[in-house]
Structure 1
Amino acid sequence: MSLSVRIGLVSLVVLLILAFVGYGALLRLNVLPRLAFAPGWVLTDQFGERFTSEDLRGAITLYTFDYSANEDPRRQTHDLMSDVQNQLAKQDLGDVPVRLVTVTIDPTRDTPDILRTVGENRNVDFSRWTFATGDSASIRVAVNHGFGVYYEPDPDGGVSYDPTFVIVDGMGIERARYRYGLPPVDNLVGGLLSVVSEAKAATGSARLAYEAAHLFSCYSTTP
């Protein structure tokens, strides 16, 4: 066997080993897919201040949609968001901002004062968790048309809707949706931490690895 052939075989083996190691590394990254651009919106926070989607640019955000008078335990997202807030407080997030946003679907009754009281009664950290309201048209545009969450007033004064949680990354891209029921808190926190890990690796070779993982994820899920 000539020297050039042996060198070629050794090079091929090395490439196969590197490919195998790289494939394993991509699998371990376990990235959340990039689903779609999140909608833009302009609303009002619990202090009566203007609150927009641009205020969250650069932050990883978990959205949900509820109303203060909700008494249905099957749709009670406030308790679950409180659990998420408490678990995030125990995590090392580095310098990656993580925000929680609850958008009311009953804006007529859920004024900023009402939402602030709801938050205070739940010991909400308003620097992380924001409650948003607005006029009925703005809420409809943001929630129904923007995030695709259907809701409708009930004859008994409540609101019919399907609990929905959406994770949006710092670039304004939806990364995960949890619908039709209340997911385990570990699923929500795990999803947020997955995007946090990706944000921490936003530069250098680690970023290339994450981009490769996204590319691999796209092709591996294509029918």
Structure 2
Amino acid sequence: MRTNLLLAAVATALLAFPALAHTDHAGSNPAAADPAVRAPVTTGTRDPRAYFTDADLVDQDGRKVRFYSDALKGRTVVLNVTYTNCTEACPLITNQLLQVREELGGAFGKQVSFVTLTSDPARDTPKALKAFAVKQNANVAGWSFLTGRKEDVDVILKRLGVYSENAEEHATVLYIMDVDARRMRRMLPNLPPKAIAEAARLVATGGKAPGAAPPAGAH
């Protein structure tokens, strides 16, 4: 029964809702926010590598990462945008993702990975991202913090629909994506961690709940 209620809550959350601005989210009351997310978005006939780009980025350990080939290809990713000088919303969202990681259990790092992309690549060097990740207890395998040349990062942010001229005004929405399967959801980060984890599993499995009964008449 509890599993059914959770799945119903996730299904209810798959309603259209605009992304929150960083400044709005930082000062909002999470309990008062509408726990809705954008319905699945497909890239249509677009090639995901060409659309999201295979820009050369760098992770918190100084390793080169091609955005599509190394961060997105062949996996389900929970992606958020942050900047390390943020003292309000970004640490809160990172802590929320830590709880989502706990809910995912053994699926984290195998079935689902996390990607945090900076909105402030000019200041967010790999060293700065590493320090932020360590401070937030998020410097773990399966979680990449990415930066790169500003022009490359800006293109990715624009393709995600969260680009802003000011790093502080980036959207705080979470993206749950399997770009190769053309599946993507946008979720508010202040939803219960269990609901976010369940949505990630649904994206990873193509919308099929684990253990779900087959339709009536199916063989």
Same topology, TM > 0.5: yes
User: Aligned residue for 1:197?
Assistant: 205
Deviation at 1:96, TM superposition (A): 4.8
User: Aligned residue for 1:150?
Assistant: 163
Structure 2 vs 1, CA of residues 195 and 66 (structure 1 numbering), >3 Å: closer, same or farther?
same
| TM-score, with length taken from structure 2 | 0.64
User: Aligned residue for 1:119?
Assistant: 133
**1:35 corresponds to which of 35, 39, 42:** 42
Deviation at 1:188, TM superposition (A): 1.6
Distance 1:164 1:173 in 2: 19
Task: Give the unaligned 5+ runs of structure 2.
Answer: 1-7, 15-38
**2:195 corresponds to which of 187, 191, 200:** 187
Kept after mapping to 1: 8 A contact 2:108/2:142: no
Deviation at 1:112, TM superposition (A): 0.2
Deviation at 1:95, TM superposition (A): 9.5
Alignment of 1:88-167 (within 5 A): 88=104, 90-91=105-106, 93=107, 96-143=110-157, 145-153=158-166, 159-167=168-176
User: Aligned residue for 1:54?
Assistant: 69
The percent of aligned pairs where both chains have the same amino acid is 24
User: Aligned residue for 1:175?
Assistant: 184
Distance 1:94 1:70 in 2: 26
Task: Give the unaligned 5+ runs of structure 1.
Answer: 1-26, 210-223
Q: Which has the higher strand share?
A: 1
Q: Which amino acid aligns with 1:44?
A: V
Cα deviation, 1:95-115, whole Å, max 9, x if unaligned, reads 953110000001111100111
User: Aligned residue for 2:34?
Assistant: none
Q: Which amino acid aligns with 1:65?
A: V
Task: Report the secondary structure of 2:87's partner residue.
Answer: coil
Q: Which moved more, 1:60-69 or 1:118-127?
A: 118-127
Measured on the aligned residues, the alpha-carbon RMSD in Å equals 3.3
Alignment of 1:8-27 (within 5 A): none
Distance 1:140 1:186 in 2: 31
Deviation at 1:126, TM superposition (A): 3.3
Cα deviation, 1:19-69, whole Å, max 9, x if unaligned, reads xxxxxxxx9xx7984522561242111112211211131111011001111
Task: Report the secondary structure of 2:169's partner residue.
Answer: strand
Kept after mapping to 1: 8 A contact 2:154/2:163: no
Q: Which has the higher helix share?
A: 1
Residue 80 in structure 1 maps to residue 87 in structure 2? no
Task: Report the secondary structure of 2:102's partner residue.
Answer: helix
Task: Report the secondary structure of 1:63's partner residue.
Answer: strand
